[in-house]
Amino acid sequence: MAAETVALDKPVPAFSLPSTGTGTWANKDAAGSKLVLYFYPRDNTPGCTQEGKDFAAAAAAFRKAGAVILGISADSLESHEKFKAKMQFPFELLADTEQKACKLFDVFKEKSLYGRKFMGIERSTFLVDEKGVMRKEWRKVKVPGHVAEVLAATKAL
């Protein structure tokens, strides 16, 4: 049996993960709001820090568009708490240490760095509507300009 994964224009299957600030977050908690889920490789790395800063800078505009932003990586909750506090992110980070959501969203991929192959999170963002249906996905994200593109799609939803 193939593992369940998300698909465009289909409801996102139920999942929950440990969250900064709130203890545990489940996607049912976002019912009635648009949801921006951004998966990133690691806390405190240059690209991930910049992506988080970009989402933080646009957080008020996302709120105005009726959207909740959540960052997800395989780092521990303790690491997320420190990263969130250091960067003063106005949104929660979810700890997917067992890669449950990573597998659900199919973002755990073979990567290559300096010729070494390893498994890791491919930077990806997903936009879910108020009814829990995935409406847009961005895979293999390049950080510059990405948040503006996600915000435009969120406003258009």
| pLDDT for 111 | 86
Which is the CATH superfamily of the domain at 16-156?
A: Glutaredoxin (3.40.30.10)
Reported pTM: 0.94
| pLDDT for 78 | 97
Residue-wise pLDDT tens digits, 18-38: 999 979 999 999 999 999 999
- Give rounded-to-5 percent helix, strand, coil for the chain: 30, 30, 40
Would you kindly state where each structural domain of the chain is located, as residue ranges?
16-156
Name the catalytic one among 6, 30, 48, 102. Answer: 48
Catalytic annotation present for 102? no
What residues contact residue 126 under an 8 Å CB cut-off, 6+ apart?
Answer: 6, 12, 35, 36, 37, 38, 39, 105, 134, 136, 137, 138
| pLDDT for 101 | 96
Q: How confident is the prediction along the chain (157 residues), in pLDDT tens digits per residue?
A: 345 889 999 999 999 999 999 799 999 999 999 999 999 999 999 999 999 999 999 999 999 999 999 999 999 999 999 999 999 999 999 999 999 999 999 999 988 888 999 889 999 999 999 999 999 999 999 999 999 999 999 999 9
| pLDDT for 3 | 54
